[in-house]
Structure formats: C-alpha cells, structure tokens
Amino acid sequence: SKGLVHVPAINDAERATDAMVALRTIGIDASAQHGMNTVLAALLHLGNATFVPTDDDACVVGDRGAMETAARLLQVPWATLEEALTSRTMTSMSNSVYKIPLKSQEAVYSRDALAKALYGTLFDWLVLRVNASLLTQSETRAFIGVLDIFGFEHFVHNSFEQLCINFANERLQSHFNANVFRQEQEIYVREAIAWEPIAEPDNGACIAMLANKSGHPVGLFP
C-alpha cells in the first residue's frame, strides 16, 4: 500500500465504478458499500503500521499516523488498538489477568493476524450477500464458478502450505485444460466443425515433478 502501480491500459476509476454498480445490482446499497470500503481502507493503513523495539523486550508503534487512521476507520480507540497489537493478555490459574509486552516482530505477527481476520470476515460477508442475491426458489441448473488457477505464487518466504496450494492450483489447471480445451476440441474434430486449434499451456511436467509415483525421478510428494 506504500507504492503506486499504474497500468496504462487500465482505468482504475472506471473499474471501481463498475464494481460499485455491480454491488448495487446484487442488493448491496451505498451505505453497505461505504462500510466495506472503510474496512478495506483500514486494512491498507494497518499494513503500513510499524513497530520499534525498546530496551525491555517490548515495542512501541513506529508510524503513529497509519495506526491512528486505521483505528479511526475501524471506530476503535487508538490506545485500545495499540495495546492489542503490542501486548498479549494472559490469565493465571487464580484468574489474575496480566498484560505481557510483545517484541517488535511479534507485534508485526499480531498486526498481520488482525488484518487477515478482518479481511476474512469481510470476504465471508460478501460471499453470503452474493449467494443470497442469487438464491432462487425455482429449479435451475445454472451456476457461477470461480476458478483461480495456473501459475505458482512466489513470495519472499515460501512455506510448505504455499507449495500445497500451488500444487492444488496446478492440478485444477490440468483438469480445466483436459475438460475445456482437449475434450471440446475432440468434439469439434468428430463433428467436423471448422475451428482454429488452441495451444493451451501444458503443466504436466510440473505436476509430475511433485506427484509422480512411478518412473524416474519420483515426485516430491510420494
């Protein structure tokens, strides 16, 4: 959120307007859209918050402006948000409550966990609203499917979980290629339909590298 990416062929203002119109179409009015955009803005500012270590294994907020803006947008007191991100609460066996300060890296993890939880909750709410708008009492076979496929996501630090996600995406892409490209083209050939062959990307080697159970070499997962 600290940088600015501009693509000449894309008009962000027009796309934002199209998105707002689409949201109104499914019943999300201006007030709900404002609330949604406010949460998204708060997440962007929260991501800019930094923490500075102190001498006693604790930390303080480094960029007060970003944190104050996030707190205002989330409608929570600044001090409450600061305390929540820079300390953790523990309860003893005697039910005494203690505040334990966090180190700067721990505060970063706390900030990121809060952002993830907020975004996840907002996304779940949006999915519910979209599903409710598409709900019909009549029998129908129509559906809308969203498939995020093809291509490994590469981060500075890549975990085993990310590898599994990437592998699942590649398997989905392979299934998509087989059912949408190859089978459809086979039907065109059988029915003598004039068409131009589509050279879809083949990710079989990538899948074999991870999941090959026979031959040489054996995949990473087996």
Tens digit of each residue's pLDDT (9 = 90 or more) over 67-101 = 999 999 999 999 999 999 999 888 888 888 888 88
What is d(CA 62, CA 71) in angstroms, rounded to the nearest whole number? Answer: 15
Confirm whether pTM is higher than 0.75.
Answer: no
Positions of the chain with pLDDT lower than 70, given as ranges: 1-5, 140-153, 215-216, 222
What was the pLDDT predicted at 150?
Answer: 56
Q: Which of 199, 198, 208 is nearest to 170 (CA)?
A: 208
The Cα 35–Cα 122 span in angstroms is: 10
Would you state the pLDDT for residue 156?
A: 80
Q: Give how far Cα 107 sits from Cα of 27, 69, 156, 203, Å.
A: 38, 18, 20, 40
**Whole-angstrom distance, CA of residue 23 vs CA of residue 18:** 9
Beta carbons of 218 and 212 less than 8 angstroms apart: yes
Task: List CB contacts of 175: < 8 A, sequence separation 6 or more.
Answer: none
Query: Residue 101 is inside which H or E element, if any?
Result: strand 97-101
